Amino acid sequence: MPLPLTPLAGGFGAEAHLDLTSPDVPAGQLADALHRHRVLVFPGQHLNHADLLAAAGHFGTVDTHVDRTYAVPGFPGITTISNITQDGARIGIYDGDQEEEWHADNSFKPNLTRATLLYSVITPAAGGQTRFADTTRAYADLPAARKEELDGLRAVHSIQQLGALQSQANGGQSSTAAGSLSASPDVEHPLVLTHPVTGARSLLLGSMVISHITGMDRAEGARLVDELLDHATSAPYIYTHRWKQGDLVVWDNLATLHTASPCDSSRHHRLLYRAAIR
């Protein structure tokens, strides 16, 4: 039976109305749909941690090498994302009151995360939307001369720089600076990825994590990254997801960037659980 999909506004992404805990889930079609649409939204889910891991398994192998600080005990691969504080300590990876930087998940690791699942349990009444940028279509729309210029260029992704810049922007708070991955060495990735499944090319960028482009003057490289980010995150390539409780959103991390909109943690709580596919 074909997977029932409704296209999302924004020119990419699709919504699927099905119960992911059902034994009748067309599991074989889910990964194909993700590669085709780049973002999938499954509204109205009722998932426990085991259900979330099972859903993640439909898209590939779950990455269990996650930041131990906010890993969910007993469920390898699930991480808590939240702005909630209990007894003076945050219960999850810091979910800031400020605009999050544009990024691809874990680009500071040698092996890129292939896909990410995010499940909303407590949803704020205002703020906290997630915006996605279609870096596949953004690359396809570049002039031929710019594509030729980018061919072969590689960028250095630094978790140390990411943590420092996040702290500056968020009054000392960072999603990475205090985590168990914070000492990871810098890594190099191509500016233009070739998707291992679809063969499509996309831009791998980040507004805080890229320290420089290898072999290029730092100021010149920073200008290039900024220009590409401005292009890839402009209106024609954006889908904004306004969360509802029970939403599960899955995205192809090799074909998109994302960012979270501000959420006032003093007024609105936010709690999500994340799993990643390696």
- Mean pLDDT computed over 232-253: 98
pTM of this prediction? 0.94
Q: Give pLDDT, residue 179.
A: 61
Average per-residue pLDDT in the chain?
93
CATH of domain 32-277: 3.60.130.10
Number of residues written out for the chain: 278
DSSP-based three-state secondary structure for 160: helix
Token look-up 């930041």 returns 67
- What is the spatial order of strands in the sheet that 39-42 belongs to? 5-7, 14-16, 39-42, 248-252, 115-122, 271-277, 78-82, 93-94
123-144 tens-digit pLDDT = 999 999 999 999 999 999 999 9
37-94 tens-digit pLDDT = 999 999 999 999 999 999 999 999 999 998 889 999 999 999 999 999 999 898 998 7
Q: Give pLDDT, residue 95.
A: 62
pLDDT band at 7 (very low <50, low <70, confident <90, very high): very high
Token look-up 């205002």 returns 126
Query: What Cα–Cα distance (Å) separates residue 203 from each residue in 154, 200, 232, 275?
Result: 11, 10, 8, 23
Q: Give pLDDT, residue 182.
A: 62
- pLDDT beyond 90 at 106: yes
pLDDT band at 173 (very low <50, low <70, confident <90, very high): low
For residue 135, the one-letter residue type is T
The domain locations on the chain are: 32-277
Tokens of 25: 């889930």
What is d(CA 230, CA 205) in angstroms, rounded to the nearest whole number? Answer: 11
Q: Give pLDDT, residue 167.
A: 73
End-to-end CA separation in angstroms for the chain: 28
